[in-house]
Amino acid sequence: MTEISGKVVAITGASSGIGEATALSLAGQGARVVLGARRAERLEALADRIRQAGGEAAWIATDVRERTDVSGLVALARERYGQLDVLVSNAGIGRISPLDDLRVEDWEEMIDVNFRSVLYGIAAALPVFRAQGRGHFVNIVSTSGLLILPTQAVYAATKNAVRTLSEGLRVEAGDSLRVTVVSPGMTNTEFADSMTPEMRDRIRARAAVAAMSPDAIASAVAFAIGQPAGVDVSDIVVRPTAKG
């Protein structure tokens, strides 16, 4: 993956799970990673771990619900490294529940974190990519958007909104920008932590028998980023072979 070496990659939701695994994978292949998430202490520890292994990392506390925070992540990449080559929009939450529960505040937060934050990332990074004449958006969505299951209607809708947005971005991108959508199946992350106790227990029980390592998704992201200029890997679906 020599195409990865030297690239500057900003990652949201980088403090754990897929974001953390992606940061470690790309830094190990020579990328300079810029880490964003709300938990500053975990970002600092991750950046230290990367540096101790010989990599380069910067971090900034980032609440992706705030446009200024997402802009700050992109700005840090440019201030520290002079460029931004890839934005990985990974931050997401899955406060799943039956629609009859009317958990409207949870719906609103999923819209803000899962969808609106991706728009903020485009608003921050697209002008930078245009000025550079190159750039790559990598948006992490979900297989929940491919097979709609009970309790996941709103979550799946936010992920499919990102899928549609990404395709629209691709058709407007021209020949110098790349757009990749990665759809993970069940992955061993902290995804269930923000759910109601009943839903959390159900998801954790499924994950115990059918979840992938976050490293599998990180490898897919690295594959897309590592392609030669002029090659756009547009859509990757990664599922566990086990069925929960």
pLDDT tens for 143-179 read 999 999 999 999 999 999 999 999 999 999 999 999 9
pLDDT tens for 5-39 read 999 999 999 999 999 999 999 999 999 999 999 99
Catalytic choice (120, 129, 155, 191): 155
Angle, helices 40-52 vs 17-28, to 10°: value is 20
| Residues 58-64, mean pLDDT to the nearest whole number | 98
Helix (H) or strand (E) holding 10: strand 8-12
Confidence of residue 189 (pLDDT cuts 50, 70, 90): confident
Tell me the CA distances in angstroms from 36 to 126, 197, 243, one per residue in order.
Answer: 18, 28, 32
Q: What whole-number distance in Å separates Cα of residue 233 and Cα of residue 217?
A: 14
| Residues 100-128, mean pLDDT to the nearest whole number | 98
Q: Is the pLDDT of residue 229 over 80?
A: yes
207 Rama class: left (phi>0) / alpha (psi -120 to 50) / beta = alpha
Q: What whole-number distance in Å separates Cα of residue 112 and Cα of residue 158?
A: 9
Closest to 233 (Cα-Cα) out of 137, 95, 122, 119: 137
Q: What whole-number distance in Å separates Cα of residue 112 and Cα of residue 146?
A: 21
236: exposed, middle or buried (Cβ count in 10 Å: 0-12, 13-18, 19+)? middle
Q: Where are the domains of the chain?
A: 8-238
| 155 given a catalytic annotation | yes
Structure tokens at 176: 């110098």
At the fourth CATH level, the homologous superfamily of domain 8-238 is NAD(P)-binding Rossmann-like Domain (3.40.50.720)
The pTM (predicted TM-score) of the whole model is 0.94
Q: Is the pLDDT of residue 62 over 70?
A: yes
Confidence of residue 243 (pLDDT cuts 50, 70, 90): low
